[in-house]
Structure 1
Amino acid sequence: MLSYRHAFHAGNHADMIKHFILFLTLDYFNQKDKPYWYIDTHSGAGLYDLSGSEAQKVGEYKQGIRLLQEAELLPPELSAFIARLNTILPQEQRYCGSPWLAQALTRDSDKLRLFELHPADFQHLKNNMEEARLGRRGQIMQADGFRGLISLLPPPPRRAVVLIDPPYEEKKDYQRVVQTLKDALKRFEQGCYMVWYPCLSREESRKLPEQLQKLMPDSYLHAELHVHTPRPDGFGMHGSGMFIINPPYLLPELLKNNLPALTDILAQDNGARFVLNSCIK
């Protein structure tokens, strides 16, 4: 099933928490001279036109990136995030996917391995990454990212940031996330694995963080951003979360200082809130 297209949702509240945490994580990895790999299991198109018909149809970016760009008195890290976005986006009416953000933040010595199964999005990803001039440091593959990830582990430099963010259109996506991480940790236990997931009323969404925590109970971070109260009928996504295995040790404090402001800016009603817990030993 390949019906999900991120172009309808680019720049929304889910992208804000996902990309802000990715920004902080890659910044941490860049502080050491040793190179690393960035692996994206579900890359999407890489770059999105906010003036296009898909983005304009639902206008979710207006309650995401636009609110942050217009906000005043941001905490230093959120301010740095927005400033960096403004420098790496080729045009004002574009917004980046995770691969575009990662290629801009990583260094010449770092490698990118990008998976995308959807034929149309894969072609867009190829074209956009050609614009980014990745050259030899990037590989783009039209393949199942779950399987592709395992085939790459362990990476030669023994350092990697992995982003796993499937569309969760099917219940089996939740099961595949957990199983893929189990398999990945067997091959490369020290990797930094970042899982994005939607906050929904469905049981699979609510139970996923607990399942992930069991995989690495002594080295994880769990953050959620809820932008509005769940609907009475249980329909729709009221927020999203990031679960990180082997997170940067500074990340809990950085999020503690920034998630309150992010929540206030993106809140759609009085039910907006954030969740933050971690264990790093």
Structure 2
Amino acid sequence: MSDATPSLPLYNRSLLPESQRERVDVVLVSPRNPLNIGAVARAMANFGFTQLTVVAPYEPHWREARSAVGAPELLTNARETTSLAEAVRDCSLVLGTGTLTHRKAEQPVIRLDNLAPLAAEALGRGERIAVVFGPEKHGLTREDLSFCHHLIEIPTDPRQPSMNLGQAAAVCLYELATRVGPSPGKSSSPKDRTHPETKTEESKAVEKPAPTSGNLDILAGLIEDVMVAAKYSPATMQEANRHDLRLILRRLKLSAADHRRTLGLFRRILWRLKR
């Protein structure tokens, strides 16, 4: 008999590489029931995800949830933040989840089964991804979704469109863990095995990570300052304009270079206005 280490079971070989799973953040916004938080942690452990963030939890003792079977350390190591903006600050692709039954989406909507190519592209550029779940009673608010690049719609029967938090997390994480596959541009064909130093400047630019959510918020704050200085945004409209700016900047899909240029442009405009 061979002394070689047994290979992984076939059902584990198809999982997303661990190095990429570590760049997927699961974010729970204001969850109320610790048992649901534990169920999400268990689903994360099932598919090898480890990065959990809980935003403004309702129950202070959520880390003690008994439903986190096989994943107590995941709750212990989870990050807690006071705002969604802080939770997704380092992510370049933020994916909100929910149903369209009682809302009109303001951002592009993708069905869960069409998520894989989008996630593969972001992970292939070395970006962080956040998958955001809302409170059990009403889901993500319009304000929460303004921080999201896309809204993921989970296909469900119209007679029962909503899902339990743990179940919703499980099906989303299954899609990410098993269907993302190799990232675009990473195939093994001779054309794609070019030495890094011989790549063109254009291909290098394409591979650079997109601006993070935190970087977009910095730009949005600067544009808001310009709007106020130019007397374009009266006090009564500032909150609505702030919401719209977040949405617009995420729809534009700015490259890192375009983000820097736009920052420089608005800084110059603000300097001129304040003179």
More strand by share: 1
Tell me the TM-score normalised to structure 2 length: 0.33
Tell me the TM-score normalised to structure 1 length: 0.32
Pick the structure with greater CA Rg. 2
